[in-house]
Chain A
Amino acid sequence: MEPQDHTLNPGLYLHIPFCKTKCPYCNFYSVTDLNLKERFLSALNAEMPFYREAFPFFDTLYIGGGTPSVLNGKEFETLFRHIHDHFSLSPDAEITVEINPADHDTDMLSLLRNLGVNRLNIGIQSFDDTILTFLGRRHKAREAREALALACRSGFAHLGLDLIYGVPGQDMASWMADLQYVKNLPIDHLSCYQLSLEQDTPLGSRFQNGDFALPIEQMQLDFFKKTSAFLREAGFLHYEVSNFARGADAMARHNQKYWHHIPYLGLGPAAHSFNGRKRWWNHRNLEAYLDDLGKGISPVADEERLRPEQLRLETLFLGFRTAAGVDIDAFYRKFKRDLLKEKSVMLKHLQQEGLVVIENGYIRPTLNGMAVADQLALI
Chain B
Amino acid sequence: MKNIRNFSIIAHIDHGKSTLADRLIQYTGVVDARNFQDQILDNMDIERERGITIKSQAISLPYRAKDGIDYTLNLIDTPGHVDFSYEVSRSLASCEGVLLLIDAAQGVQAQTIANLYLAMENNLEIIPVINKIDLPSADVERVIEQIDSELGLDPDLHLPCSAKEGIGIEAILEAIVERIPPPKGDADAPLAALIFDAKYDSFRGTVIHCRIMDGTVKSGDIISFMYNQATYRVEEVGHFLINRQKMDQLTAGDVGYIIAGVKTVSDVRTGDTITHENRPCTQPLPGFKEVKPVVFASIYPIASDDYEDLAVALDKYKLNDASFVYQKDSSVALGQGFRCGFLGLLHLDVVQERLEREYDLSIILSVPSVRYRFTLKDGTVLYVDNPTEYPEPMSIAKGEEPYIRATMMLPERYVGTVMKLCMEKRGVNSTLNYTSPGRAELVYEMPLAEVIYDFYDRFKSVTQGYGSFDYDLIDYRESSLVLLDILVNGEKVDALSQIVHRERARARGVLACDRLKEEIPRQMFKIAIQGAIGGEIISRSTINAFRKDVTSKCYGGDITRKRKLLEKQKKGKKRMKMIGQVSIPQSAFLAVLKTDTD
Residue ID in chain A nearest B545 by CB atoms: A353
Distance of B4 from chain A, by nearest CB (Å): 63
Counting contact residues on chain B (CB < 8 A from A), the size range is 20 to 34
Residue ID in chain B nearest A15 by CB atoms: B557
Given the known interface contacts A317-B566, A378-B573, the answer about A368 and B547 at a Cβ–Cβ threshold of 8 Å is yes
Tell whether, in the assembled complex, residue A370 and residue B550 are in contact, meaning their CB atoms are under 8 Å apart.
yes
Tell whether, in the assembled complex, residue B550 and residue A374 are in contact, meaning their CB atoms are under 8 Å apart.
yes
Q: Which residues of B sit under 8 angstroms from A221, Cβ to Cβ?
A: 547-548
Tell whether, in the assembled complex, residue A378 and residue B555 are in contact, meaning their CB atoms are under 8 Å apart.
no
Tell whether, in the assembled complex, residue A274 and residue B556 are in contact, meaning their CB atoms are under 8 Å apart.
yes
A367 to B525, CA, bound (A): 16
B106 at the interface (CB under 8 A from A): no
A358 at the interface (CB under 8 A from B): no
Q: Which of B548, B554, B566, B570 is A372 in contact with, Cβ under 8 Å?
A: B548
Q: Which residues of B sit under 8 angstroms from A353, Cβ to Cβ?
A: 524-525, 545
The 0/1 profile, CB within 8 Å of B marked 1, for residues 213-236 of chain A is 000011011001000000000000
A375 at the interface (CB under 8 A from B): yes
Tell whether, in the assembled complex, residue A271 and residue B556 are in contact, meaning their CB atoms are under 8 Å apart.
yes
A83 at the interface (CB under 8 A from B): no
Tell whether, in the assembled complex, residue A196 and residue B551 are in contact, meaning their CB atoms are under 8 Å apart.
yes
Tally A-B pairs: CB < 8 A: 98
Q: Which residues of A sit under 8 angstroms from B383, Cβ to Cβ?
A: none
Given the known interface contacts A13-B556, A241-B554, the answer about A317 and B549 at a Cβ–Cβ threshold of 8 Å is no
Query: Number of residues in A with C-beta < 8 Å to the partner?
Result: 47
Distance of B110 from chain A, by nearest CB (Å): 37
A330 at the interface (CB under 8 A from B): no
Residue ID in chain A nearest B556 by CB atoms: A272
Q: Which residues of A sit under 8 angstroms from B563, Cβ to Cβ?
A: 310, 313-314, 317
B559 at the interface (CB under 8 A from A): yes
Given the known interface contacts A318-B559, A346-B581, A353-B525, the answer about A193 and B553 at a Cβ–Cβ threshold of 8 Å is yes
Tell whether, in the assembled complex, residue A318 and residue B554 are in contact, meaning their CB atoms are under 8 Å apart.
yes
B546 at the interface (CB under 8 A from A): yes
Q: Which residues of B sit under 8 angstroms from A241, Cβ to Cβ?
A: 550, 552, 554
Chain B 528-585 interface residues, beta-carbon cutoff 8 Å to A: 545-557, 559-560, 562-563, 566-567, 569-570, 573, 581
A242 at the interface (CB under 8 A from B): yes
Q: Which residues of A sit under 8 angstroms from B556, Cβ to Cβ?
A: 13, 258, 264, 266, 271-274
Distance of A317 from chain B, by nearest CB (Å): 6
Q: Which residues of B sit under 8 angstroms from A373, Cβ to Cβ?
A: 549-550
Tell whether, in the assembled complex, residue B552 and residue A193 are in contact, meaning their CB atoms are under 8 Å apart.
yes
A310 to B554, CA, bound (A): 16
Chain A 330-359 interface residues, beta-carbon cutoff 8 Å to B: 345-346, 349-350, 353, 355
Given contacts A28-B557, A372-B550, 19 further A-B contacts (CB under 8 A): A217-B546, A221-B548, A258-B554, A258-B555, A264-B556, A266-B557, A272-B559, A272-B560, A281-B557, A314-B559, A317-B562, A345-B581, A346-B581, A371-B547, A372-B546, A375-B523, A375-B546, A376-B524, A378-B569
Using CB atoms and an 8 Å cutoff, list the residues of chain B in contact with chain A: 523-525, 545-557, 559-560, 562-563, 566-567, 569-570, 573, 581
**Sample of 10 A–B contacts (CB below 8 Å):** A218-B547, A241-B552, A242-B552, A258-B559, A259-B554, A304-B560, A317-B563, A317-B566, A353-B524, A371-B548
